Structure 1
Amino acid sequence: MKLTKKGSEKIIWDSMRSNRVNFGYPKLTLYLIVFFVSATYLIYTLKLLNTSNLPCPEPDFLLPTRNSLQNLTIPPEKTEIHHIVFGIAASAKLWEKRKNYIKLWWKKEAQMRGIIWLDNPVKTLPDDTLPPLKISGNTSGFAYRNKQGHRSAIRISRIVSETVRLGMENVRWFVMGDDDTVFIVENLVRVLNKYDYNQFYYIGSSSESHLQNIFFSYGMAYGGGGFAISYGLAEALERMQDRCVGRYPGLYGSDDRIQACMAELGVPLTKEAGFHQYDVYGNLFGLLAAHPITPLVSLHHLDVVEPIFPEVTRVEALKRLMLPMKLDSAGLIQQSICYDSSKSWTVSVSWGFAIQVFRGILSPREVEMPSRTFLNWYRREDYKAYAFNTRPVARNPCQKPFVFYMTRVRLNSTTNMTVSQYARHPVPHPACKWNMVDPSNLDKVLVYKRPDPQLWDRSPRRNCCRVLDSKRKRLVVDVGLCGEGEISEVQ
């Protein structure tokens, strides 16, 4: 059938209506979308034209406002000695003797703060060279069931809390120690500056005795060597300590009670090797002459060991050590190792304390290991019962070191160099048949060293030493930072 144009259009229209399909609606929708986009673009363009003459706002970091200046973070003040409060455990029976140790390091003029906690009153005159005295609180209500110890351990463990309750202001750290503990205060401040006092920190060190650490804990700070507790942690400890102490009547001492409470608080020991318990007997020479590469913070058990300098009393020996400490506390007793290649000598410098001269060449690995001049805390045990490596005293008579102890030290204000003098310890040496220059011809050693207060702001490393030419009957050594590529080796 042939359709006209008009007829075909009618059929198509009817078909579209019957199938409910409308091809006109999509086209209309498209027109509406185009119109909307165009209108939006026109309005946005007109807005830009109206604001184009306004000045462009500067970023906050270029033009700070008053509010942005107030929000700037100011670096916190470094920890200083007046931010530290000492709690010193003392005994009335030993007071007259032990107070002399405290006088060696306590400096009221440096705004030091602290309390000496005694078990009983003592007869004493007012003394500005010591911290104030207080009597510890009554601990009779606490059970103590350790048959080998003494219940004074409970009193001493509560010194932390009793000191916190005094309510001193602007405190960052509480540092505990015994009345026979000597602190190198400047180095203590250096160590504590490494840590955020707002966080929970329990800082100290272990015993030198492996058996002591097994019996008590390798995770315990030994109280005689001293330990530091950040302010926030001390407050948390104070709130729970009496309940905690009541849960451990069978423990031996005060420091293991503190560690038990730290365990309940979930705070581990942060170890700093410069706190020294010195659970040893005899002569500390081997330990001091090879001090670890860390600031010397404390010395303990000074009544048990021999005087650190020969032929003087313990207090006199420590007074001598305070002389180099005042000039360069950061470098005190720090070891340096070098060689006099022309004479085949090994030289070990423990600055401010002593120098050893060995015949022959010893490796730094050997010399940095403490020699066994001391005895174990458990006298029946041998060197295997130490918590660190040691080396035996040389059996070969030719390898016995010649020791020179410090006798004087001064600061040359013109060169800003310390000049310390070390005199040979007059002890007999066995005959040696080695064909080399004999160190017994030396009578003294001079050491030049520039003070370095920033020594511990850098990564830990031994200073280097260099043997200098000298025409006199003495050895002259320079100590200081290692140069580029400089190591301890024979030249």
Structure 2
Amino acid sequence: MYSSSKQRIIPWLILLMIILYTLYSSNLLLITNKKRRECSTTSINLQEANNEIQEQHEMGTTNTSLNIDAESTIAQEKKIKKVEKEKEHEEEEEEEKETPIDQLSQRYDTELNHIVFAIAASSNLWDMRKEYIKVWWKPNKTRGVVWLDKKVSGKADEGLPKIGISQDTTKFKYTNHQGQRSALRISRVVTETLKLGLKNVRWFMMGDDDTVFMVDNVVRILSKYDHNQFYYIGSSSESHVQNIHFSYAMAYGGGGFAISYPLAKELARMQDRCIQRYPGLYGSDDRMQACMAELGVPLTREAGFHQELKCAFIFVVVQYDVYGDLLGLLGAHPVTPLVTLHHLDVVQPIFPHMDRVESLQHLMKSVKRDSGSIMQQSICYDHDKYWSISVSWGYVVQILRGVMSPRELEMPTRTFLNWYRRSDYTAYAFNTRPVTKNPCQKAFLFYMNKTRYDPARKKIIGTYSRYKSKPPYCNWKMESPEEIDSIIVTKRPDPLRWQRRSGDDKEEDRQENHCRQIFFAAAPRLNRVNLNLPISTACFTETLRKERRRNGRKGMEDSLLVSLVG
């Protein structure tokens, strides 16, 4: 009896299992709370949809109306989102339009007391090199430390920075047979200066003891950058071969480079370990650049920081990796602030008849009047005499017979040799032009003699005296500048001249940015020329046109129009 009832139950159990499996496979039993939550995020609630379906069913509508309504709702939401995005985009454009120009070209309020100079020096050369530092150092205004390898004797009131003794670097490996171990010590001067704990510091300025800084221009350059960010600012070498041998991404310490305070802190945390990883590098600058590369900070180039400078004649400006006479380089300085001079003790004085220190002190007379314009080139032409005139403000005026294009005058004349003496002119990292072999095209030089400020005219008046040297014989019939004894150059102080474009000047400024009339004041035993700056190349076309009318195109290259090639 029991077995028969059991046999009747088994088919029903099998049937129940089949029904459950069918329901499971059709997903009718898988409506979970999670599914309900997911459905609730759609544009139409499930319950509302059911009610709407029921109402539509009662009204005799079809189920397709629900789908149409859902699609229209989704399309409407997309349209609303698109309108909101367009509105946000318009608001962003309005904010950009309302942003003042001063804010777009923001300059930071960096001052001289925010900058600390870290100067690498040698005790063996200190007695000579300290005279260079005295030229540019401003007691009680500039801040910094000179780092020596050992103690030196000296007076406390010499007008010099504080002197520090570098830490021992014998624990670091150095395997370069061509260099010197002092590179390890010099590479750490920024870190050692940071560890002094000076307050209110934004920038560390690295330099050598024979580096002369134009401190006002240092402030102007660094004010362009946000000191709260990582910045490694400097310049590569003027020698292409030098840059290839070391790196185009490396700032040369002799020419000076700046490191922002946050970057200096990060450098101090890892520099000792970094130095150990590069025992085969030559100097301090490439070690610094190697650490910057590990920190992911590229070099920010500024044209005013210049590298190696070694020459055999009169000039020194910036730190050029060349030998020879630097007149061609200094007489064609671009419109950018001069920041540093370097390698001063291996060149001749920058002014004739003076020693090196005296010549630098003489240059500083012009620097004090308008440091932002020092040595920047202006070009003009004498319409009547057909002379080309190049003014390196505060330094030298050159007069050349004939009409030379501004493009050529802006190129430095190759009065110098490359740092690697076997290299030719293609080894320079800048454009140059050859020295003319025509004696009639030799430049007549007028060096800055004195400068003063005229408060009535609100202008700087500089007197440039001719460097007396016997001119070579010239068979040209045009007048010779050798009869001129001095040139008077007048200009308004304009510390931001390098920062502005000519189109941004006011109307009265634009009028002065033309070639000024040259005035010759003849007096017994004195011929003087007056030039009014700023002057530019606006009159070149007019002068050339007059020249062609006078002489015709034939024979111009042999007589007046100077055009050097190669």
1:370 is aligned to: 412
1:83 is aligned to: 114
Q: Is the 8 A contact 1:108 1:128 kept in 2?
A: no
2:9 is aligned to: none
Which of 521, 524, 540 matches 1:471? 521
Which of 421, 425, 434 matches 1:379? 421
- Aligned AA (2:170): S
Task: Give, in angstroms, the shift of residue 127 of structure 1.
Answer: 2.8
Q: Is the 8 A contact 2:463 2:486 kept in 1?
A: yes
Distance, in Å, in 1 between the alignment partners of 2:168 and 2:238 is: 33
1:313 is aligned to: 355
- With over 3 angstroms needed to count, the CA separation of the structure-2 counterparts of 1:421 and 1:23, relative to structure 1, is closer
Distance, in Å, in 1 between the alignment partners of 2:374 and 2:56 is: 97
2:218 aligned with 1:188, yes or no? yes
Task: Give, in angstroms, the shift of residue 464 of structure 1.
Answer: 5.5
Which of 419, 424, 427 matches 2:466? 424
Distance, in Å, in 2 between the alignment partners of 1:406 and 1:221 is: 32
Task: Give, in angstroms, the shift of residue 416 of structure 1.
Answer: 1.2
Distance, in Å, in 1 between the alignment partners of 2:257 and 2:532 is: 35
1:289 is aligned to: 331
Distance, in Å, in 2 between the alignment partners of 1:428 and 1:163 is: 52
1:161 is aligned to: 191
Kindly provide the CA deviation profile for residues 395-431 of structure 1, in whole angstroms up to 9, marking residues without a partner as x. Answer: 1010001011111101011111111011111112111
SS at match of 1:436: coil
After TM superposition, list the pairs within 5 Å mapping 1:207-226 onto structure 2.
207-226=237-256
Q: Is the 8 A contact 2:108 2:226 kept in 1?
A: no
Task: Give, in angstroms, the shift of residue 245 of structure 1.
Answer: 0.5
- Aligned AA (1:469): F
After TM superposition, list the pairs within 5 Å mapping 1:72-111 onto structure 2.
78-109=109-140, 111=141
Distance, in Å, in 1 between the alignment partners of 2:415 and 2:171 is: 45
Distance, in Å, in 2 between the alignment partners of 1:79 and 1:234 is: 17
After TM superposition, list the pairs within 5 Å mapping 1:3-152 onto structure 2.
78-109=109-140, 111-152=141-182
Q: Is the 8 A contact 1:85 1:175 kept in 2?
A: yes
2:294 aligned with 1:264, yes or no? yes
Q: Is the 8 A contact 1:338 1:489 kept in 2?
A: no
Q: Is the 8 A contact 1:284 1:308 kept in 2?
A: no
SS at match of 1:435: coil
- With over 3 angstroms needed to count, the CA separation of the structure-2 counterparts of 1:489 and 1:298, relative to structure 1, is farther
- With over 3 angstroms needed to count, the CA separation of the structure-2 counterparts of 1:389 and 1:97, relative to structure 1, is same
- Aligned AA (2:450): R
Kindly provide the CA deviation profile for residues 96-129 of structure 1, in whole angstroms up to 9, marking residues without a partner as x. Answer: 00000000000023x2110000011111121351
2:204 aligned with 1:174, yes or no? yes
Which of 404, 407, 418 matches 2:446? 404
2:254 aligned with 1:204, yes or no? no
RMSD, matched Cα: 2.1
Q: Is the 8 A contact 2:331 2:375 kept in 1?
A: yes
1:342 is aligned to: 384
1:59 is aligned to: none
Which of 238, 241, 244 matches 2:271? 241
Q: Is the 8 A contact 2:373 2:393 kept in 1?
A: yes
- With over 3 angstroms needed to count, the CA separation of the structure-2 counterparts of 1:314 and 1:463, relative to structure 1, is farther
- Aligned AA (2:231): Y
Which of 478, 481, 497 matches 1:439? 481
SS at match of 2:265: helix
- Aligned AA (2:433): R
Distance, in Å, in 1 between the alignment partners of 2:412 and 2:157 is: 39
2:505 aligned with 1:455, yes or no? no
Kindly provide the CA deviation profile for residues 125-169 of structure 1, in whole angstroms up to 9, marking residues without a partner as x. Answer: 213511000000110000000000000000000011111111111
Moved more, 311-320 or 355-364: 311-320
Task: Give, in angstroms, the shift of residue 465 of structure 1.
Answer: 4.8
Q: Is the 8 A contact 2:108 2:225 kept in 1?
A: no
- With over 3 angstroms needed to count, the CA separation of the structure-2 counterparts of 1:299 and 1:205, relative to structure 1, is same
SS at match of 2:217: helix
SS at match of 1:154: helix
- Aligned AA (2:481): P
2:322 aligned with 1:280, yes or no? yes
- With over 3 angstroms needed to count, the CA separation of the structure-2 counterparts of 1:165 and 1:307, relative to structure 1, is same
Task: Give, in angstroms, the shift of residue 489 of structure 1.
Answer: 3.8
Task: Give, in angstroms, the shift of residue 25 of structure 1.
Answer: 5.9
- With over 3 angstroms needed to count, the CA separation of the structure-2 counterparts of 1:194 and 1:147, relative to structure 1, is same
Distance, in Å, in 1 between the alignment partners of 2:107 and 2:387 is: 49
SS at match of 1:375: strand
Distance, in Å, in 1 between the alignment partners of 2:347 and 2:322 is: 7
Task: Give, in angstroms, the shift of residue 467 of structure 1.
Answer: 3.9
Q: Is the 8 A contact 2:107 2:225 kept in 1?
A: no
- Aligned AA (2:145): I
Using the size of structure 1 for normalisation, the TM-score is: 0.82
Distance, in Å, in 2 between the alignment partners of 1:464 and 1:391 is: 26
2:369 aligned with 1:360, yes or no? no
- With over 3 angstroms needed to count, the CA separation of the structure-2 counterparts of 1:418 and 1:450, relative to structure 1, is same
Task: Give, in angstroms, the shift of residue 281 of structure 1.
Answer: 2.0
SS at match of 2:361: helix
- Aligned AA (1:480): P
Distance, in Å, in 2 between the alignment partners of 1:24 and 1:335 is: 90
Kindly provide the CA deviation profile for residues 333-379 of structure 1, in whole angstroms up to 9, marking residues without a partner as x. Answer: 01000100100000000000000000000000111111122222112
Which of 356, 364, 371 matches 1:329? 371
Task: Give, in angstroms, the shift of residue 279 of structure 1.
Answer: 1.7
Distance, in Å, in 2 between the alignment partners of 1:406 and 1:395 is: 27
- Aligned AA (1:261): C
Using the size of structure 2 for normalisation, the TM-score is: 0.72
Q: Is the 8 A contact 1:281 1:304 kept in 2?
A: no
**Kindly, what percent of the aligned residue pairs are identical?**
59
Across the two proteins, how many residue pairs are aligned to each other?
421
SS at match of 1:428: coil
Deviating above 4 A after TM superposition, structure 1's stretches of 4 or more consecutive aligned residues are 21-27, 460-465, 485-488
Q: Is the 8 A contact 1:282 1:306 kept in 2?
A: no
- Aligned AA (1:175): M
Q: Is the 8 A contact 2:378 2:535 kept in 1?
A: no
Task: Give, in angstroms, the shift of residue 458 of structure 1.
Answer: 1.7
The gaps in structure 2 that reach 5 residues or longer are 1-53, 61-105, 308-319, 504-511, 544-566
Distance, in Å, in 2 between the alignment partners of 1:297 and 1:23 is: 84
Which of 389, 412, 426 matches 2:431? 389
Task: Give, in angstroms, the shift of residue 466 of structure 1.
Answer: 2.3
SS at match of 1:384: helix
Task: Give, in angstroms, the shift of residue 186 of structure 1.
Answer: 0.6
Q: Is the 8 A contact 1:336 1:464 kept in 2?
A: no
Kindly provide the CA deviation profile for residues 191-232 of structure 1, in whole angstroms up to 9, marking residues without a partner as x. Answer: 111111111111101111111111100110001000001111
- Aligned AA (2:335): I
Task: Give, in angstroms, the shift of residue 487 of structure 1.
Answer: 5.9
- Aligned AA (1:181): T
Kindly provide the CA deviation profile for residues 438-471 of structure 1, in whole angstroms up to 9, marking residues without a partner as x. Answer: 1111111110111012323424899655242223
SS at match of 1:243: helix
